[in-house]
């Protein structure tokens, strides 16, 4: 197809960012674990003269107020490494975890803590919540499943390597994507391994993985560090299809980084994905047929609303494009190099957060900023969670905040 041929001609780009694309890790566990002096904080990797400074915030006409309803402390938050531990909402409860092993169940209405479990394990991937369980992954290559009712451990299982994204379930299996690019399925009741799908791991990757996604077609779809999207049968792991979201180009490994790290978006019969130094793509869930695509560089997930698709690119621009076309509806660039999160649609707005902990509201209609509040001086990396007309924001320091739009 012409789209694939066009993808071959894309020229990779790499820009030094304050806390985003510089979060690269060599795909060798020896590098990550064997270097005692290694810093996971990308802000310390390069001298100041190599970093594009983040834009200062500009004044705006405030049209929406973000009111803080409640806040709860959840351990040490993201910890000292470049983690993106995102909470999950299931029913009337939000579940949040911190790097130091604390997991908390919180009533979304009043912020009361229903239970708090301290695992004493370094959590890096989480949180998944569905079918009566809470799922997290650890730096020590474990998947843990807890009961939603009381926070007690149901089972724990060792996998091949560190888990950086939230495990997911369909009630029959629990799927987790490991940092060495293996998709593993564990039995929902016992944790026994049911099957594993392994992808080819590039020499250099971004630190992060997308969450596996269960579809109505009885499959699990996952994005990998080599720029591919793969669909396998949930029951037995049998291969269904594989398509490229990006194609590596360039002489050096750093030019060839094309991770699919942003969360996938299921939209009816389509599944949408983004890649760093690659494309935004839509595929048919059942066949993998390419439905639509556009050149873009992003390592965040997508959002949709008002007939648009929204993404945060690799220089922290928020972009709205008309769904199914390459037409840019608007682009908001006043947050350039501010290491923003993935966009989240809530009401008539797009919500994103940045490295200084500000939450920004942008109109879906014309891309103007209409609201802002700061929730955490240490910044926000986790995706924002909309539920029941409210926005749940998990700051890097471990403060989970519920915001109402007024």
What is the residue extent of each domain of the chain? 2-405
Give, for all 406 residues of the chain, the pLDDT tens digit: 334 323 333 333 333 333 333 344 433 333 333 333 333 344 444 444 557 899 999 999 999 999 999 999 999 999 998 999 999 999 999 999 999 999 999 999 999 999 999 999 999 998 999 999 999 999 999 999 999 999 999 999 999 999 999 999 999 999 999 999 999 999 999 999 999 999 989 988 898 899 999 999 999 999 999 999 999 999 999 999 999 999 998 888 999 999 999 999 999 999 999 999 999 999 999 999 999 999 999 999 999 999 999 999 999 999 999 999 999 999 999 999 999 999 999 999 999 999 999 999 999 999 999 999 999 999 999 999 999 999 999 999 999 999 999 9
What kind of fold does domain 2-405 have according to CATH?
Methylamine Dehydrogenase; Chain H (2.130.10)
Beta-ladder partners of 402: 70, 392
For the chain, count helices (H), then strands (E).
Answer: 2, 34
Whole-number Å distance between alpha carbons of 279 and 284: 16
For 163-303, where are the alpha helices, taking DSSP H only? Answer: none
For 274-368, where are the alpha helices, taking DSSP H only? Answer: none
How far is C-alpha 76 from the geometric centre of its chain's CA atoms?
A: 19
Q: Which of 221, 285, 286, 229 is nearest to 258 (CA)?
A: 229
Whole-number Å distance between alpha carbons of 123 and 72: 18
Whole-number Å distance between alpha carbons of 194 and 183: 11
């Amino acid at each position: 197809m012409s789209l694939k041929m066009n993808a071959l001609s894309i020229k990779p780009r790499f820009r030094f960012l304050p806390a985003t694309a510089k979060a690269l890790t060599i795909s060798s566990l020896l590098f990550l674990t064997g270097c005692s002096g290694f810093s996971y904080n990308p802000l310390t990797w390069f001298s100041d003269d190599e970093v594009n400074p983040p834009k200062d915030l500009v004044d705006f006409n405030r049209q929406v107020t973000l009111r803080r309803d409640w806040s709860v402390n959840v351990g040490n938050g993201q910890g000292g490494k470049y983690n993106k531990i995102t909470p999950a909402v299931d029913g009337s409860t939000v579940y949040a975890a911190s790097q130091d092993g604390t997991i908390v169940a919180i009533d979304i209405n009043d912020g009361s803590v229903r239970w708090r479990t301290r695992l004493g394990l370094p959590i890096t991937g989480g949180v998944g919540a569905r079918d009566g369980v809470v799922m997290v992954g650890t730096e020590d290559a474990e998947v843990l499943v807890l009961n939603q009712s009381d926070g007690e451990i149901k089972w724990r299982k060792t996998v091949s390597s560190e888990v950086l994204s939230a495990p997911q379930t369909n009630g029959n299996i629990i799927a987790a994507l490991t940092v060495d690019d293996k998709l593993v399925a564990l039995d929902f009741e016992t944790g026994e391994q049911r099957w594993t799908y392994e992808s080819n791991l590039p020499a250099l990757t971004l630190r992060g993985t997308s969450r596996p996604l269960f579809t109505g077609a009885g499959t699990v779809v996952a994005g990998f560090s080599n720029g591919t999207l793969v669909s396998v049968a949930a029951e037995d792991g049998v291969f269904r299809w594989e398509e490229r979201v990006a194609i590596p180009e360039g002489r050096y490994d750093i030019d060839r980084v094309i991770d699919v790290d942003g969360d996938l978006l299921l939209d009816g019969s389509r599944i949408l994905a983004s890649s760093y130094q690659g494309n935004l793509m839509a595929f048919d869930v059942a066949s993998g047929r390419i439905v639509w695509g556009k050149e873009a560089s992003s390592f965040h997930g997508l959002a949709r609303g008002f007939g648009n698709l929204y993404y945060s690119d690799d220089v922290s621009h928020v972009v709205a494009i008309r769904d199914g076309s390459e037409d840019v509806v608007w682009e908001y660039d006043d947050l350039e190099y501010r290491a923003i999160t993935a966009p989240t649609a809530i009401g008539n707005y797009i919500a994103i957060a940045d490295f200084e902990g500000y939450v920004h509201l942008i109109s879906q209609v014309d891309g103007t900023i209409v609201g802002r509040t700061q929730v955490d001086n240490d910044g926000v990396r986790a995706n924002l969670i909309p539920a029941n007309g409210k926005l749940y924001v998990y700051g890097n320091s471990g403060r989970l905040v519920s915001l109402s739009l007024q």
